[in-house]
Amino acid sequence: MSSMTDKLRFEPCALSPELAQLRAAVRAFLAEALPRVPAVTRSHSWEAWDAEFSAALGARGWLGMTLPKAYGGHGRSAFERYVVIEECLVAGAPTAFHWVADRQSGPLIVRYGNEQQKRRIIPQIVAGQACFAIGMSEPNSGSDLASLRTRAERTATGWRVNGTKIWTSNAHRAQYLIALFRTDPDPTKKHAGLSQFLIDLKEAQGITPRTIRNLAGGRNFNEVSFVDVELPPEALLGTEGQGWKQVTEELAFERSGPERYLSCFFLLTKLIDVVREHASAATLARLGSQIAWTLTLRNMSLSIAAKLQAGQDPALEASVVKDLGCQFEQALPGLAQELCELEPTLEGYGLDYQQVLGSLVQIAPSFSLRGGTPEIMRGIIAKGLGVR
Ligand SMILES: Cc1cc2nc3c(=O)[nH]c(=O)nc-3n(C[C@H](O)[C@H](O)[C@H](O)COP(=O)(O)OP(=O)(O)OC[C@H]3O[C@@H](n4cnc5c(N)ncnc54)[C@H](O)[C@@H]3O)c2cc1C
């Protein structure tokens, strides 16, 4: 048991009081910027697309906060970034335009990009003007990502890509795609045959995104076909054959943030507003228990931010928070229905609360799939603890 707890560490971490000023500034900005955004859009939070909002956040210096100043970033701490994204998520800010770029593509490019990629793209991310998509999943390779087959072959002028990606969020409107392709077809090199590429979707020819309608009627993700797509040599991101290692690091960023338990927080706020005046003791007890869960998850999530700040790998702890956090946020629409008799709606009538609930009842089931399923998270945890 002790060797297990040695491997899985959630060190307590308190945010320093100086961050209160930053938090107050972000809160004031959101209070001004968000009333124009419909409640149902805000319920989608980090899946809600609003380029204007992202540019406004960038203009205030709140994107690319941890990226180095040498490339146009702000060189600030992981905790400062944490405060900004926490405030955005709690308020239901529409952050989808910049979310992937700020969370994972920027840090990945700083780490593995060439000088030209860093100088050209990082300032766009910092300004909230670059939207990124992630091309990992394929029609027959989701959880078993390393079995992917989209092929990038070397040519005299660079690379030629053929294949299909699926569930690629925002590929139909993003400017850039960071994708994982097979560069070595040797079947004995499953993981070692993969490489990452950085593609400008506005320039490359032969890439066709086809949007897929989700359960709630939204069109956020795509099937993306690549037919004889010619890429220049410098589209390779990092080192040929090191794609698996790079993607594992990228996934640690993808799974480590507070979005893994705050996707539905806007609903909790709305629910409290609606039941506040007439809540029974039983309702208050249930709400209190939800708040206790939130605070526990927050402490765990902050401890991951501390690991990131210290340059440590939070992959194992991030899998725990993602798994617990998804269970928490997926249960919230059901709790809301238990505690308040107002019906959910998608029809544009009723209280904001009813529309937010209607939307989240439909999209919450997907929360545990994006970024890796619970079974995969638990496999990573078991492996990390040495029990598998
Ligand atoms: C809203 C949303 C947005 C997404 N955006 C993106 C994106 O932008 N880019 C991208 O690349 N992908 C994206 N995805 C895809 C997502 O990463 C995959 O759906 C996920 O990795 C699961 O893969 P799959 O859908 O192929 O399911 P499968 O891998 O086929 O899994 C089906 C079921 O089998 C279980 N399972 C599979 N293997 C095992 C195993 N070894 N042991 C136990 N159980 C197992 C899974 O847990 C799951 O319950 C998105 C998905 C969603 C829902």
The answer to whether the CB of 143 is under 6 A from ligand 1 is yes
Q: Which tokens hold the place of 168?
A: 């690629």
Return the residue whose CA atom lies nearest to atom 43 of ligand 1. 375
Interaxial angle between packed helices 315-339 and 352-363, expressed in degrees from 0 to 180 and rounded to the nearest 10: 130
pLDDT digits (tens, 9 = 90+) for 344-359: 988 777 788 999 999 9
pLDDT digits (tens, 9 = 90+) for 217-243: 889 999 999 999 999 999 999 999 999
Considering only 99-108, 154-163, 268-277, which range has the smallest mean pLDDT? 268-277
User: CB-based contacts of 152: which residues, under 8 Å, 6+ apart?
Assistant: 159, 160, 161, 181, 182, 183, 195, 197, 231
User: How far does the centroid of ligand 1 lie from the alpha carbon of residue 366, in Å?
Assistant: 10
| Atom of ligand 1 at shortest range from CA of 136 | 11
The answer to whether the CB of 166 is under 6 A from ligand 1 is no
Residues 374, 324 contacting (CB under 8 angstroms):
no
The secondary structure element, H or E, covering residue 209 is: strand 207-212
Task: Categorize the per-residue pLDDT at 3 as very low, low, confident or very high, splitting at 50, 70 and 90.
Answer: low
User: How far does the centroid of ligand 1 lie from the alpha carbon of residue 145, in Å?
Assistant: 9
Given this model, what pLDDT does residue 346 score? 82
Query: What is the best residue among 167, 201, 248 to mutate for testing ligand 1's pocket, by most ligand atoms within 8 Å of CB?
Result: 167
Query: Which of 65, 54, 101 has its CA nearest to residue 250?
Result: 101
Q: What is the mean pLDDT of residues 32-53?
A: 93
Residues 198, 176 contacting (CB under 8 angstroms):
yes
Given this model, what pLDDT does residue 1 score? 55
Q: Which tokens hold the place of 55?
A: 């540019």
Q: For residue 166, which phi and psi values (nearest 5 degrees)?
A: -140, 160
The answer to whether the CB of 370 is under 6 A from ligand 1 is yes
Given this model, what pLDDT does residue 271 score? 94
The answer to whether the CB of 179 is under 6 A from ligand 1 is no
| Atom of ligand 1 at shortest range from CA of 379 | 42
Given this model, what pLDDT does residue 117 score? 96
Query: What is the CA 26 to chain-centroid distance, rounded?
Result: 20
CA neighbours within 13 Å on the CB side: how many for 200? 10
**In the chain, % of residues over pLDDT 70:** 99
Residues 143, 375 contacting (CB under 8 angstroms):
yes
pLDDT digits (tens, 9 = 90+) for 149-196: 999 999 999 999 999 999 999 999 999 999 999 999 998 999 999 999
Cα→Cα distances 50→41, 169, 322, Å:
10, 15, 25
